[in-house]
Structure 1
Amino acid sequence: MSLEIDVSKDGYKILKVNIDDKKMYLGSKYNQKREIEKFLSNLDQITEKDNYVVFGLSFAEHIEELLKITYENSKILIIEFNKELKEYCKKDLKIRRILENPRVTLLEDNDDIKLFFAENINEVNVNQLQTLIYGKYLKVYKKELMKTYYLIRDELISVILVRNTGIVSGELRFDNFLRNLKYIAKSTMVNNLRGKYENKPAIIVSAGPSLSKNIDNLKNVKNALILSGGRTLTTLMEKNIMPNAIGVVDPADVSYRLVEKYIDKINCPLIYNDQIHPGILEKHNKNNFITRINTFLDDLWDEPPYILSCGGSIAHSLTVLAIYMGCSPIIFIGQDFAYTGERGHDISSGNRWREWGFDEYKRDDDIYVEDINGEPVRTSLLLNDYKKSMEQIIDACPEIEFINATEGGANIRGAKNEKLSEVLKKLDKYDVVDLNEYLEKEDKTKIIIEKLEESLKNFNKYIKLCEKADRLLKDYKQSYNIKNDKKLYESENALNKVDQEIRRNLEELYILNFALSRMIYEVESNNEFVINKNDSEKVMFKKNVERSAAIYAGIKNIVKECYNKIENTVKELKENGDGK
């Protein structure tokens, strides 16, 4: 491909490319201005929450126009596949000024996509990301464009997963957290396991469709840590295989139902986060290691509990745990990340109360990826996202050997494919130390009660601040309506001071992070409050005031509701714990 610059009849630079010995303009030889207008006409309604991904740099005239008509806080990621054109544009003074605009990012490598999403795309504005294709870029660069589009899609899925799991279940997570505090008080930090299994093998047992092919090989294994999620606990116990630890991180009721038959019959530790289903801790409340999500726990011990949450599934958390403990090799079984044999889980690890058929797993947007034998295998966008997350974990630990001993499923980049029977033959014969050896006997009930009581004091302050802000908002709105500029100015200054105080000390409400997150998401993503480019000044004022009122009312209501819940938790801890 060679670079050739021409000028359109209406005076714009246009690029002519040589594709397979055929000359083609990326714009219009006769009316390039119309090409730019066509590009802009593909925009959805312009809002303050918009960000843009643009395929095609050309000579940046369309980018210049896009910058003019969109909001100052909106960011633009430009993806250009012609390296010669990119270098030309960087040297051209006029184009360089456009590219140096802080709102603009020109993609240099795929890491820029991740960075763009990390800095600009979140749970609130993910639905407002607009993807645009300039000129004939889809026709000329279809293969490259689709490959990059899939990378963008993967990032979108990751953001949406965070929104759907963290925000949507916010109230459940908070309620579980409070109910779990009496068990957390007597748990041991997972930090005690740091580096304790240097160069010892760990086997991560997952519930993928291929698990039954080699799970029997784990019988009588004493020279490797067997780390299992909750879904595979029943399978292991029914085969008389005792794991070294069970990990649970899901707050939902299904996580309890998966383990309820055996969780009180195992002697191995439970590795859990602070928001799991309380029924699990009620049945297994003696030898537990805690990892945290809620920052409320950070100063209960000399150092914050190590965070294992990563990647979206218990397999990721257990892999991070194995890395933290110093394990190598780390061996995966049942880690299909795919619908091997048109199954969602292994036949031994489904929901015993109601098994799903494959029709309930498969979706129209399923994709095919390469399996361990180089053949296509069906998977979902979610499972593929999990696979990519695991590959990122592996990439970050080149000093550790990862082995995929799953006898089926998607190929995991960075993990060597090998039969479990062969892997076990090569391991040292020495038994691994029981994780129970690293438990500590301590009780943090008293300090938890003190921290909760301090939170209640902060809650009262925030209720009063939100009530004050609500009164000031009404004054502000009235001053605007009667066009009293002096009162409007005074109300605005007073409101800004209260708003700053609320935001400045918002960290005092960190215990409510998950409870608040859903409310804030619902307000910020409510189309009634989103400002559009064609809104009048009066409409913008109304939306801003009503959005602020909804947030203040939401904070006040949640704080009041959670005040009662925390008060009851303190009472229970004082009655049942050592915090009297």
Structure 2
Amino acid sequence: MKIYKTSDGYCVYGIKKDKKLCFLADRFDYGNEIKKLLDTLEGLTFDSLIFIFGLDTGSYLPFMKELLCERNRVIIFEPNPEICKKSGTKLEDNITLVPFEENQVKQIFENTIHFKNINHIYFYAFGNYSSIYKEEYERLIELLDWTMINAASQVDLAKRFKKIFIQNMIANMNALNRCTPIHRCRLSNLNVPALVVSGGPSLDSNIRDMLSHKDKLDRYFIITGSRTVEALTKNGILPDMIVSVDPVDANFDMMKSCLDLEAPLAFYEYSNRYLVKNYKGEKIFISLLFSQTVEGFENYQGVFCGGSVAHACIDIANLIGCSPIIFLGQDFAHTYQKHHADSAVFDYDKNLPYQTTVVVKDVYGNPVGTTVTLDHYRRRLEHYISLYKDQKRIRFINCSYGAEIEGAPHKELAEVFEDEPTVRQKRNFIPSREIHMDGKKTIDSLLQFIEEYRVKASQCLELCEIIRSENQTKSLIEVEETDIDLQRILYILKVVSDFENHTNTKYLGGYFSEFVFEMKEKTFHMPAEDYNELTSDLQHQAKSFHIYFEQMKEMLENVNQIILETVTEFY
């Protein structure tokens, strides 16, 4: 690696790649490379997050810095170890250089991209990096796309189900003391093969194979979601565990004829409250929220939720030690031009869009239609499987006929029954009533929190109105520390910070994430170049926070009403 002078006075690295000299950017018009980067960053907001692939000599840094404000963050991924060694990691206070390493890149994306900034992410591959480091670049794009899709789907999910999430969470608190935490099932069925049953079009064929080998089913641990319980029981196949993570009432309707089964029902905070309340069998609690909010719940475990109940079923099969984990009806595609198996279709499906929008390869290498959502679920499952590729204990087998699932080779279910050894006897789990939660006390604490911040929102609204009525034009960075308006703004900022970072805010779920998203997009949308001016402008701040606290009060009052209605129904 060597530094070369460019024709227009900059410096560029030249490296040997495949015995050829390659320049990491244009040696003749380096200024144009910098311009293309700066053009890409046009429209930066104060909270924009910028990812760049390639540092080269760093000649673009001084120009890029001029576009940034103190709240912006830049992360530069560098695939060349020599450049990383020469440059160090901290280039500026808000500019970091990170060696390209796949797991680290993935971790950074997951830790930095979320519902608050999803619309303010910038990415640029500098110079010739995308062609010289083609493999790394393509993997980087894949990881970024995956993270963005995941974050966007979480925002959409939270907004669509924000009310029912609150209702389910409040109601399900009342069931916890009669449940066993999922970690008590850990390794309870070590090396027992698991059949994970999903409702894809292949299920009908898989059920026929199950019935042909019914005498062997007692050697397999059968895990299924709500949709497919009836399809199994109608054929005399009893599941060993039912998993329900979907919040909507349709999940209760799917299970209406199966509420008296002995198989335990695994659920989490947002699972449908009517199903959790009315299911007669044992219940297993999966904690995704309360482990973060309830004292004493810190060690309660969650499971992998990749968008489909199948992900949770597969992770539970792994948690209890099963291997191989065998996928049935796990198509992730419109196999046979169907969205679900005939045995797993309900009236609920008539109102859902199932149009084919993407084509992928099926288990035989042939094209099959699917949707962006289903394909995203498939990719998430493939990522999950990849985490265990080096572990000998666990194997995955796909007996479905839909999309190919990398890491889970396809095999006929009939062959699995004939070829796979079943040396361990499956075991039922032993109930453990160790959860102690005072639902009413937790709800009272949440209601007190809501009332406290409703009052504080009113106080802050009053302060904003006073500032606006006095109509004083001030720069908050130029006034004395004792200035009354500065003190008012500081109090407002403290209320906002305390509210947004409070543990109880997590209970607000989609209401909170939608509220913050809307505030960022509309009320507090500031170009980076105007950040210092607008944040120090007294009247601008008062106007923006007035809108913030009006919307905050409305949100809190809505959530308060939903909680009270749910308490009346379930307590």
Q: Same fold (TM over 0.5)?
A: yes
Residues 76-475 of structure 1 aligned to structure 2 (within 5 Å): 76-80=74-78, 83=80, 86-88=81-83, 90-91=85-86, 96=88, 99=91, 102-137=94-129, 145-219=137-211, 220=214, 221-257=217-253, 259-264=254-259, 266-295=261-290, 299=294, 305-352=300-347, 354=349, 360-363=354-357, 366=358, 368=360, 371-373=362-364, 379-397=370-388, 398=391, 400-425=393-418, 426-428=420-422, 432-435=426-429, 438=431, 440=433, 447-475=438-466
Deviation at 1:535, TM superposition (A): 3.1
Residues of 2 paired with 1:383 and 1:108: CA distance?
30
> RMSD of aligned C-alpha atoms?
3.7
Tell me the residue number matched to 2:515. Answer: 519
Residues of 1 paired with 2:448 and 2:15: CA distance?
68
Tell me the residue number matched to 1:566. Answer: 563
In 2, are the aligned partners of 1:298 and 1:304 still within 8 Å (CA)?
no
Residues of 2 paired with 1:356 and 1:463: CA distance?
38
Change (3 A) 1:246 1:431: same
Tell me the residue number matched to 1:490. Answer: 484
- Deviation readout 1:41-83 (Å, 9 max, x if unpaired): 23231111212222343322123321332123323333455x3
Change (3 A) 1:488 1:29: same
Tell me the residue number matched to 2:39. Answer: 41
Tell me the residue number matched to 1:8. Answer: 6
Q: Which amino acid aligns with 1:473?
A: C
Residues of 1 paired with 2:240 and 2:46: CA distance?
52
In 2, are the aligned partners of 1:264 and 1:284 still within 8 Å (CA)?
yes
Change (3 A) 1:390 1:46: same
Deviation at 1:342, TM superposition (A): 4.5
Tell me the residue number matched to 1:59. Answer: 57
Structure 2-normalised TM-score?
0.84
Which of 45, 59, 69 aligns to 1:71? It is 69
Residues of 2 paired with 1:97 and 1:315: CA distance?
41
Q: Which amino acid aligns with 1:555?
A: M
Q: Which amino acid aligns with 1:493?
A: Q
Q: Which amino acid aligns with 1:50?
A: S
Unaligned runs of 5+ in 1: 575-580
Residues of 1 paired with 2:315 and 2:74: CA distance?
34
Residues of 1 paired with 2:531 and 2:187: CA distance?
61
Deviation at 1:314, TM superposition (A): 0.9
- Deviation readout 1:394-446 (Å, 9 max, x if unpaired): 344425322313243344344454332333344437753344x5265x9968x
Change (3 A) 1:69 1:17: same
Residues of 1 paired with 2:414 and 2:236: CA distance?
18
Residues of 1 paired with 2:337 and 2:424: CA distance?
39
In 2, are the aligned partners of 1:174 and 1:515 still within 8 Å (CA)?
no
Structure 1-normalised TM-score?
0.83
In 2, are the aligned partners of 1:75 and 1:120 still within 8 Å (CA)?
no
Tell me the residue number matched to 2:554. Answer: 557
- Stretch of structure 1 that moved more, 244-253 or 136-145: 136-145
Tell me the residue number matched to 1:577. Answer: none
Residues of 1 paired with 2:395 and 2:448: CA distance?
49
In 2, are the aligned partners of 1:332 and 1:406 still within 8 Å (CA)?
yes
In 2, are the aligned partners of 1:54 and 1:134 still within 8 Å (CA)?
yes
In 1, are the aligned partners of 2:198 and 2:224 still within 8 Å (CA)?
yes
Change (3 A) 1:502 1:99: closer
Residues of 1 paired with 2:395 and 2:209: CA distance?
18
In 2, are the aligned partners of 1:336 and 1:406 still within 8 Å (CA)?
no
Residues of 2 paired with 1:254 and 1:548: CA distance?
40
Residues of 1 paired with 2:62 and 2:234: CA distance?
66
Q: Which amino acid aligns with 1:290?
A: F
Change (3 A) 1:350 1:300: farther
Deviation at 1:276, TM superposition (A): 2.2
Change (3 A) 1:288 1:139: closer
In 2, are the aligned partners of 1:402 and 1:416 still within 8 Å (CA)?
no
SS at match of 1:438: coil
- Stretch of structure 1 that moved more, 126-135 or 480-489: 480-489
Q: Which amino acid aligns with 1:323?
A: N
SS at match of 1:481: coil
In 2, are the aligned partners of 1:77 and 1:107 still within 8 Å (CA)?
no
Larger relative CO (CA 8 A, sep 6+): 1 or 2?
2
Q: Which amino acid aligns with 1:37?
A: K
Q: Which amino acid aligns with 1:227?
A: I
Residues of 1 paired with 2:33 and 2:297: CA distance?
63
Residues of 2 paired with 1:559 and 1:14: CA distance?
55
Change (3 A) 1:301 1:9: closer
Residues of 1 paired with 2:522 and 2:453: CA distance?
27
Number of aligned positions between the proteins: 557
- Stretch of structure 1 that moved more, 158-167 or 191-200: 191-200
Change (3 A) 1:463 1:301: same
Change (3 A) 1:89 1:173: closer
Residues of 2 paired with 1:182 and 1:9: CA distance?
73
In 2, are the aligned partners of 1:208 and 1:346 still within 8 Å (CA)?
yes
Deviation at 1:125, TM superposition (A): 0.9
Change (3 A) 1:230 1:489: same
Change (3 A) 1:13 1:473: same
- Stretch of structure 1 that moved more, 415-424 or 448-457: 415-424
SS at match of 2:522: coil
- Stretch of structure 1 that moved more, 209-218 or 424-433: 424-433
Change (3 A) 1:105 1:374: farther
SS at match of 1:227: strand
Change (3 A) 1:33 1:187: same
Residues of 1 paired with 2:496 and 2:16: CA distance?
59
Deviation at 1:249, TM superposition (A): 0.5
- Stretch of structure 1 that moved more, 426-435 or 20-29: 20-29
- Aligned-residue sequence identity (percent) comes to 22
Residues of 1 paired with 2:145 and 2:105: CA distance?
10
- Stretch of structure 1 that moved more, 160-169 or 546-555: 546-555
Change (3 A) 1:483 1:104: closer
In 1, are the aligned partners of 2:461 and 2:549 still within 8 Å (CA)?
yes
Deviation at 1:226, TM superposition (A): 0.7
